Structure 1
């Protein structure tokens, strides 16, 4: 007797999905001209991390027009928009707001020509080179759709515009400003990110660890300077730094399990002023990448031990051993909750088609969206990829073996349509899979 019941249930869910798909398709197509204008405005008016004053004001105004209860200046320039519709789960939907200090070279008619002062007072060009303008537009489109189609869902939706993702501090700032205490602790948190090597119209996902812990480390190697012709009278920090760099190459290869993934990169080395002068110090800048907290702690511990060894072998007093400084803007690894991902992916496939939603590898990039799942409440989080490349351009690059402009490239130019439409459909489907009326 169970079989007929299961068939009826399956047919009901199938018809429901088809009904939602049609409503969503019509709504997104109708709303697209409005969203495109918003997108072009965001793209041509970028602002740096923690300086997103006009961006936040613009998003807040649009969310109010859509019927949300909006609070501004959360965690600095953060925006929170609440949409309530009876009893049900609380779902957090997040976008980032900030742009990068890059001079745009896309040639788009709405390209940015903005210049601004960075935190150090330096005049820089500013560009949305990481797709945050797309993210904001998708969030707005999703809010507008769900605000006008309350018959499809019930619960509380928390739309947030987060500052300073590029500096790794925006999520932390909003959480420390009482995001969960002042508004609501979500049952789920979802977000998306554009993907610069995936054709527009497609989605990508990875369950479990999807993005890495990101640490920035500075090391100062001290010595005793002097004349380059008399090195025996000095302690050469250039040689010590070179020895340190070589030893750092063993941190991953000889300490981290081959079944784990990690990266230690020395990206900058500065020391000395002239070829015949041995300097007093050399400065190194590193980035460390890992997935698990255990691997992260192991890497940092081994670097500390290597630095102590270099210092001891130099013959210098302990106060002159290499000094390590960790940057404050640590970004924790993003762990996509498998159960949450499964629900969302199924809904997205029902709307977009199985072939449009594909599994992708984990990456060593970082995303502070991870912090929303790292509080004591242990909120399940899921971030998925949104293809943003013109399919014809993608196919041509594949055929020629060429590399497409990456995220953070001055030439990265997402294709607005169908990227924005796909994003709104995908995010709306995600919310409906969690808060949709049965």
Structure 2
């Protein structure tokens, strides 16, 4: 019987002819082993081995390069997130504020320092200017439906960032949006995303790559539009439970403070998340009272006439950033103009909300006091608008009667702060 021995390197086949049944003993077969001659490798074998080794090294290097690239991208993304949010202080790790913080709140109309320092600071002047200036170097490369109404668009820029573009139907809405933003800056409630004006023009490099697509969507050449910094990772916000007296009305301040107490208020800690929420809620109510905003909490209250569960639904045009729990107040188009025209219809809701708070951010109180009893608030807003907005000449001032309404509401807010101080003194 012939046994094939295969030399895998030289590919030679040997015939071993020394096996037969007669050579077996005790029922066992025997086989004469013919030793192989030493393997001689020719040049071709050396090339094959070298090529195989090179391939292995290249594979290892490629794997290492891919792993290094993955690590670099991951680190870059993380650093980008930290850079995007360096304007906001992340909430400290401790789970609760001390009882001492709550006692300070009971003894003052101002949130204590440790509470205020734990709330995200919002959009800074530096962030606004960096974003605004960066747009001059960017180009829109892709447009998508989004950012609210039918004609609004989400813009993708050539650096991968995104911008919300709001195409408003009339001048009032544009004025309401942009002046509400500058009001938020003037009173230090920096919860409105950076906002600026732009003109849609196919000859403008910023718009040229997507102009035909937008024109087919019935955008008009030369139309004034509003650009807003895109903020992602948002979640809806509901009316805090302690603001709800029942399913159909907002609680007053004495009921709210009672609901925040635990059964053993002298020694128990205050729930941190509710206090941080209350700080931002207080600012939002003041901002919406000044602008007479119709599209946030007032919307929920007004719709109770048709739906008794409206207070359990998320608040319209208010969301919270996941990274630091910052409140985002967006779509402020009704503020300062349209809302002032129909003030009589909705003023009861604004008054009800303003009466529901009696504790405030120190910075907000300081700014309210600085501008009250004079016309400096609108002057400050408009001067800031002229300084920061290169298209300010395209948009007229709001009518004098609306400036007067703003001043009246500012003084009403100041009066509320003073009333709270008097109640505390008693």
TM-score (norm 1): 0.25
Q: Which structure shows the bigger proportion of residues in strand conformation? A: 1
The higher radius of gyration belongs to: 2
Q: Which structure shows the bigger proportion of residues in helix conformation? A: 2
The one of the two structures with greater contact order (alpha-carbon pairs below 8 A, sep at least 6) is 1
